Structure 1
Amino acid sequence: MIIHNLGENNSLMNKFTAEIRDVNIQKDSMRFRRNIERIGEILSYEMSKSLCFEKSEVSTPLGTKKMDLPTDKLVLCSILRAGLPLHQGLLNYFDGAENAFISAYRHHEGNEDEFEVIVNYFAAPSLQGKTLVLIDPMLATGRTLENVLKSLKDYGTPAQIHIVSVIGAEEGVEYVSGIFPENTQLWISAIDPELNARGYIVPGIGDAGDLAYGEKL
């Protein structure tokens, strides 16, 4: 897997990433969602540089201009619910993309640390020959993306897969690298060193879904 860790270079994105980590700023859920969205926009811009382009003639009021324009048929696939603000960030830039949504969540039996990932809803167009963008803000253990990959098989084979995340753990990134095709590209704003006993990224941000939309039962 090709890894693009954009947090390794100084940019305005570091400010947005710092704010979603900050326990005081996290109290403002609207700002949290907007920062996730803005990170998605920056990751989209960087990812766009890797897409396929062809020359196209554009008519202006005073003439014509040949420009290189992207040709990939994109499908943006968001993992509910935490992926929604990040999905919107990508959709702001890839406004002509098709969209897919999958529900994948952790089930802790008896509130134990061990968990399984359950997928019970998936709505998607055909993926055959298209560029699939998997949107998961927190790449922790990598098991959610593994289950999503298994669920995609009935929808066709993408020509290319990109994964867009906000924060990942080294362990999860390594795990995903071993199960996705070698030419898969990961676009991420930061990679943290470890997971805690319950599989949350440390230092991370906490539960992205709860921070964006409120705590769940």
Structure 2
Amino acid sequence: MEIHYLSEKNSVLNHFLSQIRNINIQKDSMRFRRNIERIGEIMAYEMSQSLHYKSIEIPTPLGIKKTTEIADQLVLCSILRAGLTLHQGFLNYFDNAENGFISAYRHHPNNDDYFDIRVEYQAIADINGKNVLLLDPMLATGQSIVAVFNKLMERGTPAAIHIAVIIAAPEGIAYLKQNLPDTCHLWIASLDERLNEKSYIIPGLGDAGDLAFGDKL
């Protein structure tokens, strides 16, 4: 798996990352959503440099300009519900992309710290021969992403898989390396220290879905 760490160099990305973590700023859910969207736009730009392009000629009012445009067919697939705002950021840049949505959540059958992953709702475009961009703000254990990846592979064979996460724990990265093909690309905005005993990312930012859309029942 090829891993791309995006916050190693100072940029406006780090500015927005600091705001979504700040417990005082993140209380404003509208600002939190917008900052996640902005981070998605920055990540989409960085990812765009790895795509394939084709040469085109476009007419201007004064002549013809030779340039390039994206040649790859893209499918954006976000994990509900936290992935929705990140999805919008990518869609702002990849406006011709097709889209998919999958729900995945931690199920605690014994009402303790043990959990498995339930993958239920799916609404996904045809992925055969296309570049699939799997979007989820948080990479904690990695189990949700692997479960969703396996569901996606039941639907076809993509040309490439790119996984974009905002905050990742080392344990989750290791799990993806063990359970996903080497050909996958993993894009990480920020790498954190570890998981705690409840498998939450430390220092993390809290529950991205709750911060964006309110507490769930």
Give me the whole-angstrom Cα distance separating, in 1, the residues matched to 2:153 and 2:161: 13
Moved over 6 A (4+): none
Q: Does 1:182 align with 2:195?
A: no
Residue 151 of structure 1, CA deviation: 0.7
Residue 161 of structure 1, CA deviation: 0.4
Corresponding residue for 1:141? 141
Deviations 1:107-156 (A, max 9, x none): 12243111111001111111111000000100000000111011112311
Q: Judge conservation of contact 1:101–1:122 (CA < 8 Å) in 2.
A: yes
One-letter code aligned to 2:91: L
Q: Judge conservation of contact 1:52–1:71 (CA < 8 Å) in 2.
A: yes
Corresponding residue for 2:27? 27
Deviations 1:13-51 (A, max 9, x none): 101000111111110000000000000000000000000
Give me the whole-angstrom Cα distance separating, in 2, the residues matched to 1:59 and 1:154: 43
Give me the whole-angstrom Cα distance separating, in 1, the residues matched to 2:129 and 2:177: 21
Give me the whole-angstrom Cα distance separating, in 2, the residues matched to 1:153 and 1:95: 24
TM value normalised by structure 2:
0.98
Corresponding residue for 1:114? 114
Corresponding residue for 2:166? 166
Corresponding residue for 1:96? 96
Deviations 1:64-119 (A, max 9, x none): 11102111100000000000000000000000000000000111224311111100
Give me the whole-angstrom Cα distance separating, in 1, the residues matched to 2:90 and 2:48: 10
When the two chains are superposed, the root-mean-square deviation of aligned CA atoms in Å is: 0.8
Give me the whole-angstrom Cα distance separating, in 2, the residues matched to 1:201 and 1:88: 24
Give me the whole-angstrom Cα distance separating, in 2, the residues matched to 1:94 and 1:188: 19
Q: Judge conservation of contact 1:125–1:155 (CA < 8 Å) in 2.
A: no
Q: Does 1:196 align with 2:196?
A: yes
Higher percent of residues as helix: 1
TM value normalised by structure 1:
0.98
Corresponding residue for 1:45? 45
| Number of aligned residue pairs | 217
Corresponding residue for 1:105? 105
Same amino acid, percent of matched pairs: 58
Corresponding residue for 1:75? 75
